[in-house]
Amino acid sequence: MISKMMFINLALFLCAVFGIIYLTASFSKKDMPIYCVSVLCAWISLALCRLYMFLVLSVENADLNKFNLSWFAMTGSFIFLFCANYGCLDKDTLKAAKGNAKQKMISLAAPAAVMGLYIFNMYLFYKYGTRLTVSYRVFTVILTLLIMQNSFFNLKYIIIGSDKESPLYRLRSFNFIMLVYSILTMAEVSAPISRSLTAVIVIYSLTGVTTLMIPVCLRRGMK
């Protein structure tokens, strides 16, 4: 499994590098909006995270459940995405993005689903008798909280963006894929311990596809 995880992480690193190059090249002739800068930084952090995971597995054959620096990068990546959703929207978009109480209530379904996945992950860990270190528990809790807020914003922007006149209309596909990516990241936490190769391949393949598609959808949305 370790050798497979190694190559999966290498592939995901290359997907993230593609995203970085694509975004940088797309905005080479004009100033990049702060929203895109934030997503670009998230992708740089993600690429470094995947590279570090690949190296830890290839050099040390180490268990990624023990303390390692990829946790910082993964957390950093989601904080950059949080920054994009929370403070990088321009005035008009921000006004439109506020939404009403009903839209906010419906949007809570996404963080609830993420929380459900977290509980399912913990159940899998106990079922397979995996001993979790304290640091890993802390990391998964922080990551879950960050993914929850990210998925909340993504679903909210999808709902608000369903109105054709909304400035968020063009970013619907981006937000949808971002939501899928967030859920896949949650599923990724427990995928290796399930010892099911099919589950691992499906989850990581989808993560790779979403990693490739997010910068493309963002560029299209920004046009």
Partner 1 sequence: MLKEGYEIMSYILYVCIIVPFALMFLILYGGARRTAAFVMIGITVCLFVSEINSLLLDFFNDDIYFVTTRITPITEEIFKALPVIYFGIVFSDEIQKLLTVGMAVGIGFAVFENMIILTDNIENVNILWAFIRGFGSGLMHGMSTAIVGICMSSFHRRKKLFVPGLFSLLSVAIINHGIYNLLVQSKLEYLGYILPIIIYIPISIFSHYLKKKYQKQKALQK
Binding site for partner 1 (CB under 8 A): 34, 37-38, 41-42, 44-45, 48-49, 51-52, 55-56, 58-60, 67-70, 72-73, 75-77, 79-80, 82-83, 86-88
Q: How far is the CB of 197 from partner 1 (least distance, A)?
A: 27
Nearer to partner 1, 61 or 162 (CB): 61
Question: Computed from CA positions of residues 76, 78, 83, 86, in that sequence, does the dihedral angle turn out positive or negative?
Answer: negative
Is 148 in contact with 114 (CB distance < 8 Å)?
A: yes
Amino acid at 91: K
Q: Distances in Å between the alpha carbon of 6 and those of 3, 58, 60, 200, 202?
A: 5, 6, 11, 12, 16
Q: How far is the CB of 37 from partner 1 (least distance, A)?
A: 5
Nearer to partner 1, 53 or 117 (CB): 53
Nearer to partner 1, 60 or 92 (CB): 60
Q: How far is the CB of 54 from partner 1 (least distance, A)?
A: 10
Is 129 in contact with 76 (CB distance < 8 Å)?
A: no
Q: How far is the CB of 120 from partner 1 (least distance, A)?
A: 27
Question: Computed from CA positions of residues 203, 121, 154, 64, in that sequence, does the dihedral angle turn out positive or negative?
Answer: negative
Which residues lie closer than 8 Å to 70 by C-beta, 6 or more apart?
49, 50, 52, 53, 56, 64
Q: How far is the CB of 24 from partner 1 (least distance, A)?
A: 8
Neighbours of 188 (CB within 10 A): 19
Nearer to partner 1, 58 or 130 (CB): 58
Nearer to partner 1, 37 or 132 (CB): 37
